[in-house]
Amino acid sequence: MKLQSYWLDTVPPFLDAASGSLSGRADVAVIGGGFTGLAAAVSLAKKGADVVLIEAGQIGSGASGRNGGQCNNGVAIDYSGAVARFGRDTARSFYRAYDAAVDTVERFVMEEAIDCDFRRTGKIKLAAKPEHYEKLARTHEILARDVDQDTTLVSRDRLRTEVGTDRYFGGLAFTKSAGMHMGKFAQGLASAAVRHGARIYERAPVTKLKRISGYQHEVITTSGSICASQVLLATGTSVAGPFARFRRRIVPIGSFIIVTEPLPLSLIDEIMPTRRMATDSKNVGSYFRITPDNRLLFGGRARFAMSSPASDAKSGKILEKAMISVFPQLSGVRIDYCWGGLVDMTADRLPRAGEHEGLFYSMGYSGHGTQMSTHMGSVMADVMSGQHEANVWRKLDWPAIPGHFGKPWFLPFVGAYYRLQDLLH
């Protein structure tokens, strides 16, 4: 079993990074080489900007290359709750932003000819308890009436047409959702950015940001520095660097994943006949899908801990047990990959994007980042060109999380709370 991301291990290294040290000037410096930064670099370069993208590690090596490979529509919080909090019009705009986000991913794939196994297979949310199915039924009624007629309620007696397990009590299918190969998509975006004129620097952690005058900034890294008229922070849950303000507003939560050996088609047809993306309704839940080469990917919040080799291995054992409880047919199947990553969770699970003291930013995707990060990279290119209304999240306030000063000391307590909620509700 490899303790590394399947997505990153099954794609060749990016070979078009710039060589030498950073120096000189650029119109825009993008900090972060995940989907947000890469999509922004492509979009800005296509607008004619001189773009430099700076990545602390390798392209796509953070959350963008360490997730479950799902590209789903549907707002990250309960739609009814969003209506109650923000009003129907705003809730609809948030929901439609996620629809648009999947469309944006597909647009990049088509326009830049990215071979990343993008497929609109749909998603199903599975009810872990009978009362959860009742809630899904109410959600379906509201969504079909208000904002999304392309959803289908699946009763328990029909659930075997979707997933080969008796563990769940029904589900809600979203037909607009998709899946893809994360590593191939990151590589494709990076190659497109370079093709359109952007320069990409890998292994250049940012150590300091200096505002020179007005909107002029100096970005200082371990590999030189560059001056830029605009800076976009696309760093997600960066646990290092001069981003303390953002760290106080994001909780980095570990998400862990295992991937099996390749499975026979007959077994795949039994356990996931529709090949949809799948997630369950628990707070500490599971998600799973079939990879492009016929493996089962199974992930979740196995432990409320940060990712490390030891933590990943412990979480892998927990996930393997959970996988077999859902699919007893997989008992004895070899686990080929196990890894962890960080989810950049905001307090209300909604993204944040905008401008603060001359710095543009977009982050906080809260476990729904594959599509929204790509979309917001494109949106922020428009915002930085003066189209501020393109950012649907622009009016959300973003206070610091009380007691959070950068290190998530409270994660075990958060985990205990959500596990208790799963027992009670």
Q: pTM of the prediction? A: 0.94
Q: What is the pLDDT of residues 208-252, one digit of tens each?
A: 999 987 668 999 999 999 999 999 999 987 778 899 899 999 988
Q: CA 27 → CA 24, 232, 360, distances in Å? A: 11, 11, 13
**Taking a C-beta distance cutoff of 8 angstroms, is the pair 170, 154 a contact?**
yes
Q: Distance between CA atoms of 151 and 158, rounded to whole angstroms?
A: 15
Q: What is the pLDDT of residues 27-74, one digit of tens each?
A: 999 999 999 999 999 999 999 999 999 999 999 999 999 999 999 998
Residue-level pLDDT at 417:
53
Residue-level pLDDT at 404:
80
Q: Angle CA(237)–CA(204)–CA(376) in degrees, nearest 5? A: 45
Angle at which helices 88-111 and 182-195 cross, to 10°? 70
Q: Distance between CA atoms of 333 and 322, rounded to whole angstroms?
A: 13
Q: Tokens 């597909």 correspond to what residue? A: 106
Domains and CATH numbers, the chain: 6-414 (3.50.50.60)
Residue by residue, DSSP assigns 152-218 as EEE-GGGGGGT-S-SS-S-EEEETT-EE--HHHHHHHHHHHHHHTT-EEE-S--EEEEEEEETTEEE
Q: Distance between CA atoms of 17 and 190, rounded to whole angstroms?
A: 9
Q: CA 399 → CA 224, 250, 346, 347, distances in Å? A: 33, 10, 10, 9
Segments in the chain below pLDDT 50: none
Residue-level pLDDT at 420:
60
H/E stretch holding 349: none
